[in-house]
Amino acid sequence: MIPARFDYVAPTSVADALSALAEAGDDAKVMAGGQSLLPILRMRLNAPETVVDLGRIEELRGVRDEGDHVVIGAMTTYADVLASDLVRQHAGVLTDAIEEVADPQIRHRGTVGGALVHADPAGDVGAPVLALDAELVVTGPGGERTVPAAEFFRDLFETAVGEGELLTAIRIPKHTGWGSRYEKFVRVAHQWSIVAVAATVRVEGGAIAEARIGLTNMGSTPLRATAVEQALVGKAATEDAVREACAAAAEGTNPPSDLNGDADYRKHLATVLTRRAVLAAAGA
Amino acid sequence: MTRINVTVDGVGYEDEVEPRTLLVHYLRETLGKTGTVVGCDTSNCGACTVHLDGRSVKSCNVLAVQADGHEVTTIEGLAQDGELHPMQRAFHDCHALQCGYCTPGMIMQAIDVLNDNPHPSEEQIRVGLEGNLCRCTGYHNIVKAVQQAADEGSTAGASAGATAGGAQ
Amino acid sequence: MTAVEDRPKTEIGAARKRKEDQRLITGRTKWTDNIQLPGMRHLAMVRSPFAHATITGIDTSAAKSSPGVLAVLTGEDVKDIQGGMANAWPITEDQKAPVHPAIAVDHVAFAGEIVAVVVARSAAAARDAAELVDVDYDELPPVLDLKEAAKDAVLAHPSLGTNKSAFWQFDSAGAGTGGPVDEAIEKARADGIVIEREYRQQRLIPAFMEPRSVVCDPTGEQLTIWTATQVPHFVRIFTALVLGIPESKIRVIAPDVGGGFGGKLQHTPEEVIAVLAARHTGKPVKYTETRSESLLSGHHGRDQWQKLTLAATKDGTVTGLKVDLLADMGAYLGLVTSGIPVLGAFMFNAIYKFPAYQFNCTNLFTNKTWTDAYRGAGRPEATYAIERLMDELAAEVGVDPLEIREKNWIKHEEFPFTTVAGMTYDSGNYEAATARARELFDYDGLRREQQERRDRKDPVQLGLGVSTFTEMCGLAPSRVLGALRYAAGGWEHATVRMLPTGKVEVVTGTSPHGQGHETVWSQIIADKLGVPFEDVEVLHGDTQIANRGLDTYGSRSLVVGGQALVMAADRVIEKAKPHAAHLLEASVDDIEFSGGQFKVKGTDKGKAMAEVVWAAFSSHDLPEGLEPTLDADATYDPVDFSFPHGTHLCAMEVDTETGQVSMRKYVCVDDIGNIMNPLIVEGQVHGGLVQGIAQALWEEAVYDDQGTLVSGSFVDYTLPTAADTISFVTDNTVSPSTTNDLGAKGVGEAGCIASTPAVVNAVVDALRPMGINDIQMPCTPERVWKAIRSAGSDQADATTGDAQPHFDAGAPNQAPPDPSSSASAEGADQ
pLDDT digits (tens, 9 = 90+) for C234-272: 999 999 999 999 999 999 999 999 999 999 999 999 999
CA distance A116 to chain C (A): 9
pLDDT of the residue at C290:
98
Choose the weakest-confidence range: A86-100, C3-17, C92-106, C292-306. Answer: C3-17
Residues forming beta bridges with residue C42, ordered by sequence position:
C120, C286
DSSP state of A82: H
Q: Range(s) for CATH 3.30.365.10 in chain C?
A: 166-205+299-474+640-789, 491-636
Is the Cβ pair A259, C826 closer than 8 Å?
Answer: no
* Backbone torsion region of residue C472, taken as left when φ is above 0, otherwise alpha when ψ lies between -120 and 50, otherwise beta: beta
Please state, in angstroms and rounded to a whole number, the distance separating the CA atoms of residues A232 and A236: 8
CA distance C751 to chain B (A): 10
| Whether residue C687 has pLDDT greater than 50 | yes
Choose the weakest-confidence range: C177-191, C302-316, C801-815. Answer: C801-815
Q: What does the pLDDT average to over B143-167?
A: 67
Task: State which amino acid sits at residue B130.
Answer: E
Residue in chain A nearest C828 by alpha carbon: A36
DSSP state of C825: G
CA distance C425 to chain B (A): 29
Return the number of CB contacts < 8 Å for A and C.
121
| Whether residue C794 has pLDDT greater than 80 | no
For C698, the closest of A36, A115, A187 (CB atoms) is A187
CA distance B44 to chain A (A): 7
> What are the chain C neighbours of B36 within 8 Å (beta carbons)?
27
CA distance B142 to chain A (A): 17
Q: Range(s) for CATH 3.90.1170.50 in chain C?
A: 41-140+209-259+264-297
The model's pLDDT over C689-738, given as tens digits with 9 standing for 90+, comes to: 999 999 999 999 999 999 999 999 999 999 999 999 999 999 999 999 99
Chains that touch B (3 or more CB pairs under 8 A): A, C
Is the Cβ pair C822, A115 closer than 8 Å?
Answer: no
Residues from B in contact with A at Cβ < 8 Å: 2, 18-20, 22, 25, 38, 41-44, 46, 49, 52, 55-58, 60-63, 65-66, 109, 112-113, 116, 127-128, 130-133
- Report ipTM for this prediction: 0.96
Domains (range + CATH), chain B: 2-77 (3.10.20.30), 86-156 (1.10.150.120)
Q: What does the pLDDT average to over B116-126?
A: 98
Topology of domain C491-636, per CATH?
Answer: Aldehyde Oxidoreductase; domain 4 (3.30.365)
Please state, in angstroms and rounded to a whole number, the distance separating the CA atoms of residues C390 and C33: 47
List C residues 190-219 in contact with B (Cβ-Cβ < 8 A). Answer: 207-211
Is residue A42 less than 8 Å (CB to CB) from chain B?
yes
pLDDT of the residue at A155:
96
Is the Cβ pair B135, C208 closer than 8 Å?
Answer: yes
The model's pLDDT over A68-116, given as tens digits with 9 standing for 90+, comes to: 999 999 999 999 999 999 999 999 999 999 999 999 999 999 999 999 9
Q: What does the pLDDT average to over C52-69?
A: 98
1.10.240.10, 3.90.1170.50, 3.40.50.2300, 1.50.10.10: CATH of C41-140+209-259+264-297 = 3.90.1170.50
pLDDT of the residue at C6:
65
Residue C85, CA distances (Å) to A118, A180, C97, C316 in order = 45, 59, 11, 48
Predicted confidence band of residue C138 (pLDDT cuts 50, 70, 90): very high
Residue C53, CA distances (Å) to C270, C273, C428, C647 in order = 21, 21, 52, 48
Query: How many of the other CB atoms lie within 10 Å of CB of C100?
Result: 20
Predicted confidence band of residue C5 (pLDDT cuts 50, 70, 90): low
Which residues, other chains included, contact C162 with Cβ-Cβ below 8 Å and sequence gap of 6+? C96, C152, C155
Is residue C469 less than 8 Å (CB to CB) from chain B?
no
Is the Cβ pair A272, C829 closer than 8 Å?
Answer: no
For residues B5 and B16, is the Cβ–Cβ distance under 8 A? no
Is the Cβ pair B133, C721 closer than 8 Å?
Answer: yes
What values do phi and psi take at C128, rounded to 5?
-55, -45
Q: What does the pLDDT average to over C484-502?
A: 96
Please state, in angstroms and rounded to a whole number, the distance separating the CA atoms of residues C148 and C167: 17
Which is it for the CA torsion C721, C724, C730, C736, positive or negative? Answer: negative
Which is it for the CA torsion C477, C482, C486, C487, positive or negative? Answer: positive
List C residues 4-43 in contact with B (Cβ-Cβ < 8 A). Answer: 17-18, 20-29, 31, 33-34, 36
Q: Are strands B49-52 and B55-58 parallel, antiparallel or unpaired?
A: antiparallel
CA distance C307 to chain B (A): 31
* Backbone torsion region of residue B104, taken as left when φ is above 0, otherwise alpha when ψ lies between -120 and 50, otherwise beta: alpha
| Whether residue C811 has pLDDT greater than 50 | no
Q: What does the pLDDT average to over A260-271?
A: 97
Domains (range + CATH), chain A: 7-56 (3.30.43.10), 58-173 (3.30.465.10), 179-281 (3.30.390.50)
Chains that touch C (3 or more CB pairs under 8 A): A, B
The upper half-sphere exposure of residue B115, i.e. CA atoms within 13 Å in the direction of its Cβ, equals: 20
| Whether residue C819 has pLDDT greater than 90 | no
| Whether residue C111 has pLDDT greater than 80 | yes
Q: What does the pLDDT average to over A275-282?
A: 98
Integer Rg of chain B from CA? 15
Is the Cβ pair C823, A42 closer than 8 Å?
Answer: no
3.30.365.10, 3.40.50.300, 3.40.50.620, 3.20.20.140: CATH of C166-205+299-474+640-789 = 3.30.365.10
Is residue A214 less than 8 Å (CB to CB) from chain B?
no
Is the Cβ pair C829, A268 closer than 8 Å?
Answer: no
| Whether residue B165 has pLDDT greater than 90 | no
pLDDT of the residue at B155:
62
CA triple C547-C550-C556, angle to 5 deg? 135
Residue in chain A nearest B55 by alpha carbon: A108
Residue in chain C nearest A100 by alpha carbon: C829
Please state, in angstroms and rounded to a whole number, the distance separating the CA atoms of residues A99 and C334: 45
DSSP three-state, residue A24: helix
Is the Cβ pair B138, C207 closer than 8 Å?
Answer: no
The model's pLDDT over C579-617, given as tens digits with 9 standing for 90+, comes to: 999 999 999 999 999 999 999 999 999 999 999 999 999
